[in-house]
Structure 1
Amino acid sequence: MPTAAQRLVDFLAAQGIDRAFCVPGESYIALLEALHDAPIDLVVNRHEGGAGFAAIADAKLTGRPGVFMVSRGPGACNAAIALHTAEQDAVPLILLIGQVEAKDLRRDAFQEIDYGHMFGRFCKFVGEATRPEQVPELIARAYAMAMQGVPGPVVLSLPEDVLDMECAAAAPSYSLATPAAAAPADVARIAAALAQAERPILLAGHGFESAEGRAALARFAEAWHLPVAVSFRRQDIFDNHSPLYAGDMGLRNPDAQREAFASADLILALGTRLTDITTQGYSWPAAGQRLIHVCPDPKFLNWLFPAEIALAADAQALIAALPASNVPPGRKAWAEKLRALHVADCQVKPRDWPDGLPFAEVAQAVGAALPADGIVTLDAGTFGAPFYRKVSYAPGQRLLVPISGAMGFGVPSAVAATLRCPGRTVVCGVGDGGILMTGGELAVAVERNLPIKLLLSENLGYASIRIHQERQHPGRVSGTMFANPDFAHWAQAFGLPVTRVNTRDDLPAMQEAIRRPGPAAILVKTSMQAVLP
C-alpha cells in the first residue's frame, strides 16, 4: 500500500507539478524516497531561502504552484523569506516541512515549531497532519488555497513518522474554483464609465500574470484606447513599447507623472490589491478620483480606497465581457501625454563619475542586448532600479523580480528560469550586497550545466540603505559599506568566464558576453556617488 508521502507525490504529479526544490532533512526521508521514481525533477539547493526563491520563479513562469521542501526548525526558519515574498508577490507557493514525530508534537521537541503560529498570519493556509489519511486531503486543500483568489503561499507540516505510514486514502476529487464573473449590470456600468472618461488610466496587476492574461490586456487596452500603468514591478505584463504604456507604479515616480495620474478622471484597477508601493504610499487614487476596483479577493476591496464600483471578480473575465466602444476624442491626447512623460523618464544622460559607471547606462546596454525571448532576473537593490525605468520589455521577454524587495532572489530565480526555459538567455542582475546571500546556488548551475549570465554590480556597499542614511545623517556613514572578496576568482570557481566592465568602453564586451553561448560573469565597477543624494 502506498505511504502517505507517496500519496502526496502522486497528487502533485497529477496536477502537472514536474519540478520541486529542496534542502534535504532527516525529517522527510520518506518524501525523498517517494520522489525517487516520480516524474518530478528534484533540484537540490544549498540554502532553504534559495530553494524557496527558485520555486517562486518557477511558479511565475508556469502559472502552477512552486513547490519546495525543507526540514523542521532551522530549515523552516530559513524558508520564511520565500513565504513572505510569495505573499507580497501574489505567487502560488507550497512549502512542505518535515516535522517531528506526531507523538512529540507540542512538547518542545528537538527543532519543533508550531507552524500555524509561525506562518498563519501571512500564509493563506497552514495545515498539519497527525494521521496518514489526512495527508491527501491536506495537500489537495493546500494546492487549491495557493491557486484560488489572489494566489499566495501555503504550508504543510508533515511529521516524519506520518509520512512513512501506509495510507489507504487517495486525494479527494476536486477542481479549482471558477473565477467569478461580473454581473451584466456591473459590466454595463463599467462600460458606460469607460465610454465617458476622457482621462482614464488602466492600472493592471497580478491578475494578468499569464500569457493569456497579457494578450487579453493588450487587446482590451487597444480596443478602448486606454493608457496602461502596471503595478509595482510588473513591467512585463504589457508591451513597454506600446504608445499606450504609461509606465509603472514604483518606489518614487517622477513628480510630473504623479501629477498627471492625479488628474485622471477614471482609474480602472484590474487584478491588483492596491498595495503600498503601487498606490505611492497609499496616496493614489486620490480622494475624489473615480475608482473601479476589480480583485478576486473581496478583502482587498474598499479597505483603503473606496470604489465607485468594487467587484470581487476575475479581471480577465471582466474585460472579455466588455465590448469595444467609441471613445471620447480627447483620450488620444491624454494617452500621448502620459506616454511622453514615461518616455522622458526612460532617458539616460551619460555622465562620468570618479568611482565607476552609473548603473543606468549598464542596464540600458543590457536591455539592448537582450533577445526577443530573453529573461531578466533581479535581486533587490539600487542597482536594479534602472531595469524598471530605463529598460523597455517587449512581449515574449520576462522580468522576474522580488516585489517584496527580498535580497537573495536573483541567483536562485536565474537557476529556476534557466531550468524551466532551456535555450533562452537568462541575465541575472545582482549587487555585491546580495550576491553572497544565495550566490551559492550557482553550484546548482554547475551541476545542471546552466548558462546563466551573471551581472554583478560592485560598489562596496548597501546602496539603498546608504541613500536613506545620507538623507537623514549626511556624511555619517555607519554600517552600510563593506569589503568584497575577489569576485573574479569566486565566479571562476563556478566555471563562469569573467568579463570586467570598468568604463563605458567596456559595454560592447559585456553585450557580446550576453549574446555569446554559455555562462558568463560580468563584473561591473559601479559608481556609488551616482546614486547618492
Structure 2
Amino acid sequence: MNREGRMATAGEIIVDSLVANGIDRVFCVPGESYLGLLDALYGRGDIDTVVCRHESGAGFMALADARLTGRPGIACVSRGPGASNAAIAVHTAEQDSVPFVLIIGQVPVRDLRRNSFQEIDYGKMFGSIAKWVAEVTDPDRVGETILRAIQVATTGHPGPVVIAVPEDVLTAASRSEVVRLQSKPRAAPHPDDVASLRQLLAHAERPLVIAGGNLDRPGGREALADFLTSWHVPTAVSFRNQDLFPNDHRLYVGDLGLANPEAQMAVYRDSDLVLVLGARLSDITTQGYTFPRLVRPQMQLVHVYPDQSMIGTHFAADLAIACDAATLITALGKPELAPPEHRDGWIDRLKAEQRRIATPRVVAADDGVPFESIVDHVGRNLADNAIVTLDAGSFAAPAYRVIPFKPPQRLLAPISGAMGFGVPAAVAAALRIPGAPVVCFVGDGGFLMTGNELAVAIERKLPIKVILSENHIYGSIRIHQEREYPGRTIGTSFANPDFALIAKAFGFEVTRIDELAQLDRLTAALAAPGPQFILVHTSVAAILPKPVGIGQAAG
C-alpha cells in the first residue's frame, strides 16, 4: 500500500486495519516503544485516541467500550512496566468474556530474548489468561496478525488477545494488506436438538432459564425478552448481568451472585428443567458448584453456549448446543401449546423470593449513612437510558439487588471483581454514548486506584456523576475478616485524603451527604448539569456481620 509515494509502515497498517474493522477509538498511555503506532494515529479523523493516566485505566476503558459496542476494545501501552500495569485488564477481559486487544510496544528485534531493558516475554506472561499472544517480528505479517487477533477476540468465548510489536517493526515499511472486516463463523443448532428442546420447554412444569453474557450484544436483549414471554418461562441472570431483562417483569426471578440466600436456592433447586442461555457454569453462577448438582444434575439441563469447550466441563448436559444464544432462540420459534397449568404457581414462587431479596434493607446506624439507602434512592430515580458503572466492593452489593434495571439501561461492572474499574468505565461510557446519564458508584479504596482518570472526563467535558462511598476500610475484606477472625482487624483500615478537594481540583461540583436527612442533596446533584461528585460518609456498622455468641457459628 502506497502513501505519498512510499509504502505504508506496519504501524499505519495496524491503524488502517482497526478502522476497517469498525474500531473508532483506542485508549492509551504513551511510550517510546510504540511511537511509530502513535505517529500512525496522528491527524486521523476516523479514530479517536484517548490519552489515559494509567495503563489499568486505559485497559478498563477499552473493556467498557467493548461492552457497549460489541467490537474489540483496544488499548495501547508501552513495554515492561506499561504492559504490567495493563495486565489487570487482560485478566478482567478473560473473566468477563469481553473482546479486547492489548497492543504492546516491544524492544527492538535485535534486543529480543537478551533480557534487555524493560523486555518481557509476553507469551509466558499472558499465556494462561489471553486467548492468543503474538509477537510480530516481520512487518509484512502485521495484517495477518490483526486479522487473527480480531477473529480470536470476538468469536467463540470472547476474550483478550495480546500483540507485542517491536518498535523498529512499527516504523518499518510493510507489504501487508489492510485487513477488512471479515465474516464471523456462525454455528446453527441441530434440528433434532431444537425439536427436543421445544418438547422440554412445552412440558416442563418448573423451568428456569439462566441468561448470561452471550446475550449482551445488539439484539440479544430483545431476543431474550421475546423468548421468555412467548414461552412463558422465568429467568435468572448470571453473575452481574442484571441489565439483560427488566427486573420488574414477572418473569425476572433474580440473579446468581456471590452468595444467594438458601431460601431462594431451595426454590431454584426445585426446577425440573434448567436452560442455560449464553452463560458459563462457573463457580459463582453455580454457587460453588452446588447448583445444579454435580456431576449429573437433578433436573434436565440444557446448556447453550457458542464455545463447545465451555459445555459439559463440570455438569453433564442432557442437551449440549454449541451456538450463539440468540441464534438458538430464533431457531426455537414460537410454542404451539399453552404452558402447563402449574407453571404460573412456579413463577409466583420464584418471583416472591426475588421481590423479598430486592426489598431495600432498613438499617439503623449511628456511624454514617447506610449506603444501601443511597443506592435505593438512585435506583428509584434512574433515567430510562442511564448507564451505571460499578467498582468492586461491599458498597456495590446493594446495586445488584435493589436497582430495578430495565433495558435500555446498562450495567457495567467487573465480573472479575477488579477494583478500579468504576471510574474508567464511566469515562468510556460517557465518551461512547453522549447524552446518556452516567452514574458511577465507587468506594474510597477503588477510587484511589484509578480516580485519576477523572482528568480525562474534564478534558473531554463529560458530565458523569460519581458517587463515592467513604468509610475508610476495604469493606469486602473487612467483612470476611470479622467473620473469620472477629475483633482481629489488620490491614483493612486506611486514612483518606480530602476527597472534596480532589474532586474540585478535577473540576467537579461537590455534594456531601453525612446523614439520611440529606438525600434531597443527592436528587439535586444527579439532576444538575455537568460533572458532579457526591461524597457519602458511609456506615461501617451497616455492612459488618452481626456478632455471634459463644458456641454460635457465624452465618
Alignment match, 1:411: 423
* Other-structure match for 1:185: 192
* Structure 2 residue matching 1:434: 3-state secondary structure: helix
> Aligned to 1:388, which of 375, 387, 400?
400
Q: Secondary structure at the match of 1:257?
A: helix
Report Cα offsets for 1:462-503 as digits up to 9, x if no partner. Answer: 010001101111011110011111111111101111111111
For 1:324 and 1:256, locate their aligned partners in 2 and report how far apart those are by CA, in whole Å: 33
Do the aligned partners of 1:51 and 1:412 also contact (CA within 8 Å) in 2?
A: yes
Secondary structure of the corresponding residue to residue 293 of structure 1: strand
Q: Establish whether residue 295 from structure 1 lines up as the match of residue 305 from structure 2.
A: yes
Question: For structure 2, which runs of at least 5 residues remain unmatched after alignment?
Answer: 1-6, 546-555
Contact 1:355 1:528 (8 Å CA) reproduced: yes
Please report how far the alpha carbon of residue 37 of structure 1 lies from its aligned counterpart in structure 2 after TM superposition: 2.5
Say which of 149, 155, 161 aligns to 2:162.
155
Residue 104 (structure 2) aligns with: 97
1:516: Cα distance to partner?
Answer: 1.6
1:346 equivalenced with 2:358 (yes/no): yes
Find out whether 1:473 has 2:452 as its counterpart: no
Match of 2:34 in 1: 28
The equivalences for 1:187-226 within 5 A come to: 187-226=194-233
Kindly provide the CA deviation profile for residues 328-362 of structure 1, in whole angstroms up to 9, marking residues without a partner as x: 11111111111111011111242320111111111
Deviates most, 278-287 or 461-470:
278-287
Counterpart CA distance in 2 for 1:355 and 1:231 is 34
CA deviation after TM superposition for structure 1 residue 424, in Å: 1.1
| Residue of structure 1 aligned with 2:475, choices 449, 460, 463 | 463
Q: What residue is the counterpart of 1:144 in the other structure?
A: 151
User: Is structure 2 residue 126 aligned with structure 1 residue 119?
Assistant: yes
The match for 1:46 is 53
Out of 275, 281, 284, the position equivalent to 1:274 is 281
Aligned mate of 1:14, from 9, 17, 20? 20
Between 1:243-252 and 1:280-289, the stretch displaced more is 280-289
Partner of 2:383: 371
Instruction: Work out the CA distance in 1 between the residues paired with 2:414 and 2:118.
Output: 29
Q: CA offset at residue 256 of structure 1?
A: 1.0
Secondary structure, in 3 states, of the residue corresponding to 1:482?
coil
Q: Which residue among 495, 500, 510 is the counterpart of 2:507?
A: 495
Q: Give the letter aligned to residue 443 of structure 1.
A: A
* Paired residues of 2:62 and 2:100 also in contact (CA < 8 A): yes
Equivalent residue, structure 2, for 1:318: 328
Q: Secondary structure of the equivalent of 1:84?
A: helix
Structure 1 stretches lacking a partner, 5+ long: none
Report the CA distance shift for 1:453/1:172 in structure 2 as closer, same or farther (over 3 A). closer
Q: Deviations over 1:152-194 (max 9, x none)?
A: 0001000000010001121456624332110101100111111
Q: In structure 2, what is the Cα distance between the partners aligned to 1:172 and 1:2? A: 13
- How far residue 289 of structure 1 moved from its aligned partner, in angstroms, is 2.1
Return structure 1 stretches of 4+ with deviation > 4 angstroms: none
Maintained 8 Å contact 1:232/1:403: yes
Aligned equivalents of 1:293, 1:176: Cα separation in 2: 25
Q: How many Å separate the matches in 2 of 1:179 and 1:444?
A: 38
Q: Residue 456 of structure 2: SS of its match in structure 1?
A: helix
Q: Which amino acid in the other structure matches residue 516 of structure 2?
A: R
CA distance in 2, matches of 1:323, 1:445: 45
Q: What SS does the aligned partner of 1:94 have? A: strand
Indicate the residue corresponding to 2:64 in structure 1: 57
- The percent identity for this pair of structures is 55
The within-5 A match list for 1:223-262 is: 223-262=230-269
- Amino acid aligned to 1:146: A
Q: State the AA in 1 paired with 2:84.
A: C
1:486 aligns with 2:492: no
What does residue range 423-438 of structure 1 map to in structure 2 within 5 Å? 423-438=435-450
2:219 match: secondary structure: helix
- Kept in 1: contact 2:108–2:167 (CA 8 A): yes
1:124 positional shift: 0.8
For 2:235, the aligned partner's letter is V
1:452 CA displacement: 1.1
Q: Which amino acid counterpart does residue 471 of structure 1 have in structure 2?
A: R
State the SS of the aligned residue for 1:302: coil
> Hey, what's the Cα distance between the residues in 1 that align with 2:181 and 2:402?
45
Residue type matched to 2:495 in 1? A
Q: Give how far 1:282 is off.
A: 1.1
- Please report the TM-score for the alignment, with normalisation by the length of structure 1: 0.99
Contact 2:146–2:179 (8 Å) recurs in 1: no
TM-score with structure 2 setting the length: 0.95
Q: 1:306 aligns with which of 316, 321, 332?
A: 316
**1:123 partner SS:** coil
Alpha-carbon distance in structure 2 between the residues aligned to 1:432 and 1:173: 44
Matched, 1:68 2:75: yes
